[in-house]
Amino acid sequence: MTFAKYAGAALLGGGRSRIREMPFPEGGAMITSKATARYIRSAGAISLACLLALLSPMRSSHAASDVFSLTKRAGHVNSLTPLSLHVPPGRYAVFAKVGLDQDETQTTSPVTVNCELSWARAVLDFDQVRLAPSGVDQLDNAVLPLQGVIEERRLPVEITLKCGNDPDTPGAGGKLSWRYVKITAIRVDGLLCHKYLTEKEDEAHCP
């Protein structure tokens, strides 16, 4: 039996050959059949592992748990000066929340506040609230949660949160502020599936 045939037999489980020892192809040194079988099986396992590694899908260099976030404790509500979180390209689940506080006391009219979470390509989420003038028995503060998803493969992403009110609204004044604004972007490696439903739809099917 040649060395090549013997190696193949050992790799396929034929290591228990009747041949107890055999020479290397060049002749000279002797090696037992059991040692040869163990060596060839080990080499085969290593080769198989390398092959599987080459054939497996390439993964992104970042982990699925990358988290980017900003917090601002207080500020005046002004739609001309939004807050922005800059993140690398990727797929993101984005969450934001803003606490709104109306401290105006010189009016009896409520004020409407609009908040918008967006990025370069689209508005991710929008909400509004009407706040009464400041007072013990008044609804003069509220918290708005916003969320959305983003996929950008090439360019850095700027996530923006802005709130504002109609300056002509009675009671708008200059005492409308926000408290503890937060924007959090979680980068994920998995599938991103987001569907916009029409008025007549009530189900979304993702692959």
Residue 197 forms part of a structural domain: no
> Pick the residue with more confidence: 197 or 143?
143
pLDDT of residue 183: 96
> Pick the residue with more confidence: 9 or 198?
198
Domain region containing 40 = 3-55
| Residues 141, 77 share a domain | yes
| Residues 123, 51 share a domain | no
pLDDT of residue 16: 47
Q: Which of 51-65, 89-103, 173-187, 193-207 is predicted most confidently?
A: 89-103
| Residues 79, 45 share a domain | no
pLDDT of residue 157: 94
| Residues 18, 77 share a domain | no
Give tens-digit pLDDT for 71-93: 998 888 765 578 999 999 999 99
> Pick the residue with more confidence: 144 or 111?
144
Write the DSSP assignment of the chain as a string of letters. Answer: --HHHHHHHIIIII-S-S--EEE-TT-SSEEEHHHHHHHHHHHHHHHHHHHHHHHSPP--SS-TTEEEEEEEEEEE--TTS-EEEEE-SEEEEEEEEEEEEE---S-SS-EEEEEEEEETTEEEEEEEEEEPPS-TTS--EEEEEEEEEEEESSS-EEEEEEEEE-TTSTT--S-EEEEEEEEEEEEESS--------TT-------
pLDDT of residue 130: 87
| Residues 106, 165 share a domain | yes
The total number of structural domains that make up the chain: 2
| Residues 169, 105 share a domain | yes
